[in-house]
Structure 1
Amino acid sequence: MGGVDPRRLDDQELAKELETIHRTRHDTLLHGSNDALRTHNERMAALEGEYLRRHPRRPVIGGRTRAGARSRGEAPS
């Protein structure tokens, strides 16, 4: 896997790396080689895992939960 070990990044660097990898995800999926996609997956998992390790109690928006998604999908009565 390329890039700096996510554990060595400070919070600002980690946030920037996450923004970049999420921004490039779609193009990598559509147009990258299998190796590029595999590398992207590994790097994204490492960065996201480090973020979650640092922020286990991050705020969760109700609409981003399964229950919240189900309530958005219900037809009005």
Structure 2
Amino acid sequence: MADYNNGVPPERLDERQLIRELEAIHRTRHETLLYGSSDALRTHSSRMAALEGEYLRRHPQRRPAAGRTRAGARARAACV
């Protein structure tokens, strides 16, 4: 199991907190990738995976937007 010294375990977050954490971690991803230490990137990746995994666990029937599927990508490419 992951070490969450810097955050609440995702399964203990309510829905609003989980979404807020996901938004924050995605907002900081690029900067962490470009400028963070190897340890910071590893920690960030682990936390992001745990938060995303919890979201997917809670929402197994989520419906992807049509444009975010392979068929949607092909349709966009055909229009260009």
Output the TM-score relative to the length of structure 1.
0.92
Give the drift of 1:59: 2.4
1:45 aligns with 2:62: no
Output the TM-score relative to the length of structure 2.
0.88
Give the drift of 1:75: 4.8
RMSD: 1.2
Alignment of 1:1-77 (within 5 A): 1-2=3-4, 3-75=7-79
Q: Where does structure 1 differ by over 2 angstroms across 4 or more consecutive aligned residues? A: none
Q: Which structure 1 residue ranges, 5 or more long, are not aligned?
A: none
Identical-pair percentage = 67
